[in-house]
């Protein structure tokens, strides 16, 4: 029996390692290609033999305002994260733990909204944001359509529903209000959900380039994804090393997401939600 278990564990580890290598290879190819002097689309070797260079990154910095675009992306993403976490937490708690007329209808409408692609809403939103609110060429115009995320509301609501009801009843008996219960009891127990929402939300606005491109044509307000998309489509093909320029732009865009995932990875863990309940 012990040999069978060890053999099964070894096979699972090998399969997981193989899957990890398959998923990691595109990132490896992107990073290596960004530093090659002359990368090809289909390399015949894993490591280059024709030299390494940082010119691909310096060329990007010389053609676009890399620091300014990065600041614009941080402002847009931070605004979206703030709105999503605050509004998503309040809405998720209300749907999961409060009893009010139309709660089930609200939940059903929220699920229906998730089925509508954002591309279908882009033109009406553009007209509303630019002509109705006059927020063209502003950070708020780029942030407002993403300030509330139904996916975040769904994640928070599911985690809040998993919490023991006895904790909420005990807090209400002690005189705690709903905001106090949310802040002191619910939020500390749903840190994995908070980390998930932050990661999922961060990836969207950070990589979004079509909506900011529609809202503003001012290069000083465009986020990093828009600047890199313009660079790749208009400038990279005219350089001596177009593949290296494209891969360097992809690295510059993907690097913050990887760092954020590494920082938040330790929060993805199981919690004993029933440990606060006697019996």
* pLDDT tens digits along 121-130: 888 888 888 8
Whole-number Å distance between alpha carbons of 34 and 31: 5
- Of the two residues 173 and 236, the one the predictor is more confident about is 173
Q: Which residues, in sequence order, are CB contacts of 207 under 8 Å at separation 6+? A: 225, 253, 257
pLDDT for residue 82 is more than 90: yes
| 93 Rama class: left (phi>0) / alpha (psi -120 to 50) / beta | alpha
- At 47, the pLDDT band (50, 70, 90 cuts) reads low
Task: Tell me the torsion sign for CA atoms 220, 226, 228, 230.
Answer: negative
Contact 141, 135 (CB under 8 A): yes
Residue 184: name the closest of 266, 270, 276, 83 by CA: 276
pLDDT digits (tens, 9 = 90+) for 15-44: 888 888 888 888 888 888 788 776 555 544
| CATH number, domain 56-268, options 2.40.440.10, 3.40.50.11030, 1.10.3720.10, 2.40.390.10 | 1.10.3720.10
Residue spans per domain, the chain: 56-268
């Amino acid at each position: 029996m012990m040999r069978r278990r060890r053999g099964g564990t070894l096979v699972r580890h090998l399969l997981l390692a193989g899957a990890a290598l398959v998923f990691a290879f595109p990132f490896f190819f992107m990073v290596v290609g960004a530093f090659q002097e002359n990368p090809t689309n289909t390399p015949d070797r894993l490591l280059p033999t024709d030299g390494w260079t940082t010119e691909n990154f310096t060329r990007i910095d010389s053609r676009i305002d890399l620091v300014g675009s990065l600041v614009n992306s941080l402002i847009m993403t931070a605004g979206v994260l703030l709105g999503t976490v605050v509004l998503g937490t309040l809405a998720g708690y209300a749907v999961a733990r409060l009893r009010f007329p139309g709660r089930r209808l609200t939940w059903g409408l929220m699920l229906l909204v998730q089925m509508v692609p954002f591309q279908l809403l882009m033109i009406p939103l553009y007209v509303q944001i630019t002509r109705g609110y006059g927020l063209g060429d502003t950070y708020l115009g780029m942030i407002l359509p993403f300030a509330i995320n139904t996916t975040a509301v769904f994640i928070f609501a599911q985690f809040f529903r998993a919490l023991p009801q006895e904790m909420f009843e005990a807090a209400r008996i002690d005189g705690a209000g709903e905001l106090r219960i949310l802040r002191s009891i619910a939020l500390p127990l749903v840190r994995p959900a908070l980390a998930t929402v932050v990661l999922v939300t961060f990836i969207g606005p950070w990589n979004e380039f079509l909506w900011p491109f529609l809202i503003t044509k001012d290069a000083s307000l465009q986020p990093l994804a828009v600047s890199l998309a313009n660079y790749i489509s208009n400038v990279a093909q005219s350089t001596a090393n177009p593949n290296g320029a494209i891969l360097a732009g992809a690295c510059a865009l993907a690097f913050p997401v990887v760092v954020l995932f590494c920082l938040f990875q330790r929060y993805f863990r199981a919690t004993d939600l029933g440990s606060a309940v006697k019996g």
